[in-house]
Every structure is written in structure tokens, then in C-alpha cells.
Chains A and B, each alone.
Chain A
Amino acid sequence: MMGRGAGGGRGASSGSGADASIGGVAPAVDGGEAVAPAVAPAVAPAVEFVGVSFAYPDGTQALDGVNLRIEPGERVAIVGQNGSGKSTLVRHLNGLLRPTAGRVLLDGRDIRDVHVAKLAALVGLAFQNPDRQLFGGRVAAELEFGPRNLGVRGSELAECVKSALAAVGLQDEAETNPYDMGYSRRKLLAIASVLAMRTPILILDEPTTGQDARGVARVRGVVRATVAAGRTAIAVSHDMRFVAECFGRVVVMRGGRVVLDGTPGEVFAERHWSELQAAHLEPPLPAVVGARLGLGSTPTDAALVERLKSNA
């Protein structure tokens, strides 16, 4: 539903994976005024933070030497208490913030000189607060904004909009005014408006806050479909159940540093609980139950049930 055609998507000549450029962004880096941002590659670029530190103008040290590498097609959840630097970190990926020290690399290339508008073709970021993002008078117009900026037109644009709406279950709302929708659906709309850009890297900042079970299921579907299409999915979240069930890798942040990094099974294992507690995080319930029953690390319901069955 959300896959890019194997033919490589948007019509213009595509920078293949072998290309040394960052997903075809290179012409713009070289100073030429690119008419439309080039096509994003079918394979997501690898993401790398090298010793990244960042201080806000008021002096707040939000990141403190982050080293992190994310491979193409990974699904990574970033967790940590309020103010630990999660949002700040992901904003470095599309150039909204630039490191005060260290480097951010996409496919090995420093993105320091790449404009935000160009990076937008590679990295889609749905913001924490949908009210700061939505502006269209119609849902459809809202969804067209991103892909249009990337040079998508005509039937391809319509297809982007349609599939993104379907992905979050808003297919019947194309003509609705976003301001007439409740918070949870505006949030889904904000996610869809980024999905419509079909970027090889998708970042969702707190996608499940305010969502009921059905909304959470939609978000899970989005994450799953994203990685199924060979793209990278990164989510910032406080929802440990969502994190454990939906992501292959969990990165725990505290005070602007990465303090834990591993599979949900590793990160939520009992031996890390004190570290989690220090980061004001609670392991998901099945992990706690599993540990109490001496079953080892069982971060999800499914893992717990399986362990119980095999032990019975």
C-alpha cells in the first residue's frame, strides 16, 4: 500500500544506491539551484551520529556527545524521560538543528551543508504537536503540500495522497477541514501528511499520544509498512508497550546521551531496570510479569505467552 514502485518512484532520474551522493541530493550541495529536489533512493541511507552535541541558544545542553548508527530498513524507538533530548536528536536528521559539535551523516556524507528543503526529500518528520504543523483548509490540500514541494504532480500526487490517507484510516476525510477534526485524528493527519512524501526515512515524534487502541494500531501499521518497503522507521515515544511490540531496537536517552541501546528483549531485561528507572522509564508490564515468574526477558504479551507455553 505504501511501497514505492520498484521502478524507483517519482519520475526524475534516480540516484541509485551505488551513487556516492546522499540520495541524489548532491547537485544542490554543489551549489546548483536544483529545480525540484531529486528523487529519493529506493534504499534508505544509513544514518550516523558521530559525537553529536547540541546546545540551544539559551545555553541548555540538550545533546552531549551522541554516537548512534541506524542501518537502512531498521525500526528504532527512541525513549527517555521528558527533556532527555529525543526531539532535539531527531531534528538533527533533517537539518532543522545543526550540531554544535560532531557530525550527522547520511550514507557516510556529512549533511552540514545540505539545506532542509533538500533533506526533506530523504527524511520525513512528523512533529509532536500537530497544531504546529497543519495549515490546510482541506485534508487533501494538507497532504499535497509535502509531495508538491518535492516536485510530485498529477496522478502520482493523487496516488501519494490517497495511499497516505488510507494508511491512517482517513480515506473518507479528504474534503474535511482539519480544524474540525479532534486531536487524535489531527495527529494521524499530521503523520499522513509526512507519509505522503514517501521519504526513505520516516520519523514520528510521539505518534501514539492521545490515540485509542485503533489509532495505535494504525500507527503500528504505518511503521510496519514503512520497513516492509525497505525504508527506515524511527519513532520517539513514551509508550513502552508500543515500543516493545513494534520496534526491533530501542535506544534509551538520558541527559542528552544514549545510555542503553538494544533489542526490546535486551533493553527491558531485568538487569537494566535500575538504569531504566534512573531514566524515569517503566518496563512494559509483560517484562515485569516475566521477570517475576522467572521466565527471563519477555517485553511483549506474545513473548510472555510463548515463554509460559514452552515452560508449561
Chain B
Amino acid sequence: MDSRPGDPIDGVPDYVTRRSTGFYRALNPATKLAVAALEVVAVFIVPGWPGPGAVFVALAVTALASRTTRALILIGLAASPLVISIMVVNLFLVPGAADPIFRLGPLAPTVTGLGVGLLTSARLLVFSSAVALAYVTTPVDDLLADMSRRGLGRRGVFVVGAAVQMVPRTLERAGEIMDAQRARGMDTEGHIWRRARGLVPLAGPMVFGALTEVEERTMALEARAFTAPGRQTLLRVPADTGLDRLLRWLAALALVAIVALRVSGRIG
């Protein structure tokens, strides 16, 4: 056959071979992973505000252009309990801080604590947004197809695929199991200890469901010649352009540079 990757193939529905398009979305999954890795390292290795600051600007621009702002804001909101607890802990408990903003009995929030809390929160939010951006702009199929094109074995692809898809499936299953128990009068609106006790009925079906699902998926794959010898034909091949390669090289160089600067003590 003379077809190039990404071309329509006879008898294969369009949605299988169709490539992702749009700003940032169209990039190769590996490129997006490399960029995310650079961002994560920059956030944590560059001391002080420049790290999260710069990454935040980059993320904001990318998110606006790729229309993913809403998803990222939602993910940020989901992290808010964590952010609040980080703020509280740091405000009051940073060791050695002696610059109270005010005193109220035993409570003495410190300026140092405020700074540390804000920076830690910013790092957390920017870090999770960087990972989330790669996730929301990359269909799982693209990621898996690209990995298998790069020579990761089928088993590897299966494991990664199962792990990545586990998250939304698990959330969905947890919601439904919770509903089933609420329908039988489980009180999720009462006291804390009651609600905690309510989690017990979730554990069984969660674990059991996850196990049977993996087992069934494995058998379904066997039945579709997953373990057959020989090379698989990839129907969906994500694009990998010169721009992708350039971006990956730049990300790798920048990453090495940041680490080198940090290790040699030139920053921080």
C-alpha cells in the first residue's frame, strides 16, 4: 500500500485516522510531553518566583490560543482545598519566621510564611496546569499510537493506556457506586465520621470492578489478536513535523541548561 501516515484508508472510518488539529493540539504527543517536562522542572528547580512566573505566562498564552482555559481553571479550582491548606500551614507554622503580620492570642501569621505559602501554592498550581494542558490537548489514542510508533512494546502501551484511562473511569465508577449506596439510604450529608464510614461501601466495588475490568480488557485484547506475532499496523499516526523536532530539542536543551545552572550554583 502506498498511503502515507494520516491519509484516509479505505474501509477505515474517518474518526480513526483523523488527526488532531488546532494550535498546540496538533503537535506530536511526545513534543507536548517534552514541553510539560521542561515546565515542571523549571517550576521546581528555578528558585523563587521567576520559575512559576515564566511558566505561568507560557501556559496562559498556550491555553488561550488552544481554548483550554476553562478546563485549566476547573483543574485549578479542584486543587483549591490543597492550596488553602498549604497557605494555612505556611502562614502559621513556617519554622524560624519572626515577622508576624499581627498577633491574635496564639495565632501569629508571618510575612515569611505568607511568602512561602504563596510560592508553594503557585508552584503547585502551575505544575498541575502544565501536566493538565498536555493531557487535555492530547487524545489518549494519539499518545498510545505515538508511543507504539516509537517502538514501545504493546505491553508497555497497554500498561500506559490502562493507567491513563484509569483516572476518568475510576472517577465515573466512584460516582456511580456512591449513588447506588446513597439510593440505599447511606447518609453522605451528615457528620464527618458518618461520611467517613460511608466510604467503606465504596472500597469493595471499586477494587473488584477495577480488577474485573482489567481482566476483561485483557481477554478482549487477546481475542482481537493483541498477542499475535509480527508488527501491528497503526491506523492512526499522529503527525511529527520539523517544528515538533525543533521544539523537542529546544525543550531538552533548556531543561539541561536549567539543571546545569542550578547544580553549578549559578542560580539559587
Q: Is the CB of A116 within 8 A of B182?
A: yes
A150: Cβ under 8 A from any B Cβ? yes
A8 to chain B, nearest CB (A): 19
Q: Smallest distance from the beta carbon of A32 to chain B beta carbons, Å?
A: 13
Q: Does residue A133 face the partner (Cβ distance < 8 Å to B)?
A: yes
Asked if B225 CB lies within 8 Å of chain A CBs, one says no
Contacts of A115 in B (CB 8 A): 187, 189
- Interface flag for A94 (CB, 8 Å): yes
Interface size class of A (residues with CB under 8 A): 20 to 34
The reply on B209 being an interface residue by CB < 8 A is yes
A133 proximity list for chain B (CB < 8 A): 177, 180-181, 184, 205
Which residues 165-223 in B have Cβ within 8 Å of A in the complex? 173, 176-177, 179-190, 200-205, 208-209, 212
- Chain A positions near chain B (C-beta within 8 angstroms): 33, 37, 91, 94, 96, 115-117, 120-121, 123-125, 127, 129, 131-137, 145-146, 149-150, 179, 193-194, 197
Contact (Cβ within 8 A) A179 B208? yes
A131 touching B209 in the complex, CB below 8 Å, given contacts A136-B204, A145-B201: yes
Name B's interface SS: helix
What residues of chain A lie closer than 8 Å to B188, measured between beta carbons?
A: 116-117
> How many Cβ-Cβ contacts under 8 Å join chain A to chain B?
77
A13 to chain B: closest CB distance in Å?
A: 19
Measured between alpha carbons, how far is A88 from B183 in the docked complex, in Å?
14
- Do B185 and A135 touch across chains, with their CB atoms under 8 A apart? no
Instruction: Identify the interface centre among B173, B179, B203: most chain A CB within 10 Å of its CB.
Output: B179
In contact, A145 and B205 (Cβ under 8 angstroms): no
Residues of A within 8 A of B185 (CB): 37, 117, 120-121, 146, 149-150, 197
The complex places the Cα of A125 from the Cα of B176 at a distance, in Å, of 13
Q: How far is the CB of B25 from chain A (nearest CB, A)?
A: 19
Q: Can you list 20 A-B contacts (CB < 8 A)?
A: A33-B190, A37-B185, A96-B182, A96-B183, A115-B189, A116-B188, A117-B188, A117-B190, A120-B183, A120-B184, A120-B185, A127-B180, A131-B208, A132-B180, A134-B205, A135-B204, A135-B205, A145-B184, A149-B186, A149-B187
- Distance between Cα atoms of A123 and B186 in the complex (Å): 13
Inter-chain contact B183/A132, CB cutoff 8 Å? no
Taking a contact as CB atoms under 8 Å apart, the answer to whether B176 and A132 are in contact is yes
Most buried by A among B176, B180, B188: B180
How far does the Cβ of A195 sit from chain B's closest Cβ, in whole Å? 11
- Find the B residue at minimum CB distance from A134: B205
